[in-house]
């Protein structure tokens, strides 16, 4: 099995940023079965990428309902990325190259 990653771009409402960061620092991620790491990267003003690493694409896919439920817990903290209410820009796939020093 190949490891997998999901990457989700989000823009947080300025007045909710501290709360959103606290949510991601404190939330128990133990119910994301198969996740091996979680990273939150600030990519711009109020804009973030959330990166999850998984043991496999199957594990990532099986946990999607849990990820959607977590999103529902903080959806109101996010700004729309596009018309129509889209608040995330998600991508996922198998890791094809991973290099560590």
Whether residue 97 lies inside any domain: the answer is no
Q: Which domain holds residue 41?
A: 4-80
User: Over 90: is that where the pLDDT of 85 sits?
Assistant: no
CB 63 within 8 A of CB 6: no
Contact 80, 33 (CB under 8 A): no
pTM value > 0.75: yes
Number of domains in the chain: 1
DSSP string, 16-74: GHHHHHHHHHHS--TTSTTEEEEEEEEEETTEEEEEEEES-HHHHHHTHHHHHHHHHHH
| 85 inside domain | no
- % of the chain with per-residue pLDDT over 70: 100
Residue 49 maps to a domain: yes
pLDDT in tens, 22-70: 999 999 999 999 999 999 999 999 999 999 999 999 999 999 999 999 9
* CATH code, 50: 3.30.70.100
């Amino acid at each position: 099995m190949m490891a997998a990653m999901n990457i989700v771009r989000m823009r947080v409402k300025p007045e909710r940023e501290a709360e959103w960061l606290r949510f991601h620092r404190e939330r128990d991620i133990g119910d994301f079965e198969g996740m091996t790491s979680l990273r939150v990267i600030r990519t711009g003003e109020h804009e973030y990428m959330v990166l999850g690493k998984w043991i496999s694409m199957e594990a990532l896919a099986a946990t999607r309902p849990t990820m959607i439920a977590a999103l529902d817990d903080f959806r109101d903290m996010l700004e729309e990325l596009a018309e129509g209410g889209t608040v995330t820009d998600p991508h996922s796939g198998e890791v094809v190259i991973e290099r560590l020093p």
